[in-house]
Structure 1
Amino acid sequence: MQGGGCVRVKCKLPRSNGKQSAKSSVTRKIQTHTASPVSVTKENVLPYNASVPVGQPQTDEAAGENHWRSAEVPLRFIDLFCGIGGFRISFERAGCKCVFSCDWDKFSQQTYAANFGEVPHGDIHSVAVADIPKFDILCAGFPCQPFSIAGVSKKLSLGRKHGFEDEKQGNLFFSIADILDYHQPPAFILENVKHLLRHDRGRTFHIIYETLTKALGYRVYWKVIDARSVVPQHRERIFIVGFKPGRPFEFPEFPAQGPKLSSILDPEVPDKYTLSDHLWNYLQNYARKHQAAGNGFGFGLVTGNDIARTLSARYHKDGSEILIWQGPQKNPRRLTPRECAKLMGFPDDFKIVVSDTQAYRQFGNSIVIPVAERIAKKVVETLQRPLNYREDLVLQLQDKKATVSLKKPKKTVRYKIERKLK
């Protein structure tokens, strides 16, 4: 098992018609699973529907405008829940070509359009699966708020549902599964928060894993990676990679020692990023209050010799998780949006065309590009390596002996597996 184990079970599932609602077809397949081989052909996939308003498509000529784009684009990928294009930069640097993108947030669409020359589709539910063009790799950083510790805590405090029960964001994984089922791409990569593994006592990840392996027939690898080895930020995220037919895959190695904050800090920063006396006093009193109660809540005060805490989408509120020390005679300051871009590994010429508030949200929700780029190159390398059927047979034999130590979901889980998968 690699990273968390792999189980590969062949099954025959009815094809999606490309028009049904998100999560419906795959949810039904989990409930009515049978045991015949699934086809891996890509027949009857409709071409791109030009009538859908998505802005101007990316052209090969435009792809040469920015230095991170590759001249060779042999493999095609789609960029789901694309945000501001972290996965896109990573896979274009690996020599791939983006053929479809989507994100519902209008401000993220503005940033994406400014940097890539196309406006992503909006709500994925408004796009027929059959209208998505042919592709080789599915990339998706599906929304993490329903599964993150902070997101779950907030929803519970407001009496809202979380996880798969979050009807706005929690069921988007099943949209991914429907697209995988219809198009049968040879590879995918998903990214989410580390807490996805523990959400609902492991049942959420179990359903995701069973759907990808037993219902959809992919050989799946996963690993939690801390970005601190490539950027000055402690940021743990889970990456899930799958192949069909199954292929051996190893996540890339990362340096033992990463850079310090000084590598991304600007020498001169406008005074507006320095905390006011009122806000600085509030944060100090807040920290003292929780420290006295034995809680770990507080601000993260750092210097150029340190690494930062995880940059979150709420950074625009008070910047408390990453405050830069400016000496004893001056209040600390927030990072600037450009420093946040560098903290996430975005190139210096990446355009920031929105307000500071929106920029903080966008970078806090993004992926760390140096991490994703290394994984992207490994995925491309794996797909370009000729498939060894003797090797594939060995993988199948290993899979029959493999077990997954994940808790099975109870019947109370909304998207339950009503029939034991064999």
Structure 2
Amino acid sequence: MQLRKIILLATILAGSYTLMAQTDKNSIDDKQNEKRKKVTKSETDFKDTEVNFLFNYYEQDGDHSPVTGGRGTEKLENIAPTFVVHVPMDSVSSLDLNFGIDIYTSASTDNIDYFDGNKSGASGKDIRSHINAAYNRNLLKSGDTYSIMAGFSKEFDVTSFNFGGSYTLNSTDKNRSLSLDALYMSDTWKLLYPYEIRGTSKANLKDDKRSTMKLGLSYSQVINKRLQALFSLEVVSQSGLLSTPFHRVFFDDAIGQSDDILRSLSFVEKLEDNRLKIPISMRWNYYFNDFMRVRTFYRYYTDSWGITAHTASIELPMQVSPSLIASPFFRYHTQTAADNFYEFGQVSKAMVDAKETQFYTSDYDLSDLSSTKIGLGLQYSPIMGVGNFKSPFRKNKQAQLKSIGLRTAYYDRSDGLNAWLLSLDFAFTF
């Protein structure tokens, strides 16, 4: 399983995207933020630069690695320090920066060179670096907002860049909003094939680029003082290299064979070069009382590869004390298999030779599966901040450690993959 997919999974498990760190942090407890505003004495405090330092640790294990044909270790560890910076430029515009690195070790991708004798691969250890920037502006006359964004990332086998934007129509009372967004991403791959296939006719993927276009529409509304809702629809179109060059597939003639024989029987994963994804989701947030809130989420997903999925989650933020919020959460996911998913040795060599089937993969991310995630989030956020210190950037200005957040979760999947993660968030103002 390539690092990009692992990083995405770890991010989802953490329960928040780093690009949304400030929004998630501030929305945890609106009442607490209102109290914070009341003790603020200077309007300049509302223009402070906000910096979140996030530290994420992710660990997983399993025995269905696509690198070795759907069986074999999926053990991986990932450490991801990230900075999210929000800079108010004036009263109506701001700049958001998100940058960091992912440092990982992977027994799974180390097996790209499984058959070379010492089983040591080029990607057993690596670093992914990334940066994203967004310019945001409020339109005073209409009350609408728009954003323009761009980003770049680099890892051992993939170089990516993206750009996009969004426009939000807000009602006069700010209780309703309609958002349109678009994102384009381009990935350029290094075609790193399994060791035994390099330089042979089996190393025959035709493209080294992948393009992704996403269009999104969302509508949010404050229904009453206790209930808020959001509905969203996305259409994602992908084209180009959708196979992973170092994912192996073994046909039915490989069953029961030794490694010496398997060396000559491995093939490269082949998937369609086009994919259309359509997720539809809704969120309902209900305010019970000063002590508890309920956040619910549901998503329906379908794509052109034959996968249909349902995801549901619930989170219960609870005001343990004026400074501490505890948020237990639970998530359930189930999906059908892609049309061209096959377990080790399941696809018929005769069908492939007769060209009755063109595509095949043993990547269990595309299998029929279900998963659960359970965890707890904690946020310590005193009204006057955790601590104050002299700002290193602004003379005669106090900086503040505003809050400390912790989130931990355990993830279990029906195919045997399991993972746990720990995420820390230190929020500063300067």
For the aligned pair, the TM-score class normalised by the smaller chain equals under 0.3
Pick the structure with greater CA Rg: 2
Higher relative contact order (Cα pairs below 8 Å, separated by 6+ residues): 1
Structure number with the higher helix fraction is 1
TM-score (norm. length: structure 1): 0.27
TM-score (norm. length: structure 2): 0.27
Structure number with the higher strand fraction is 2
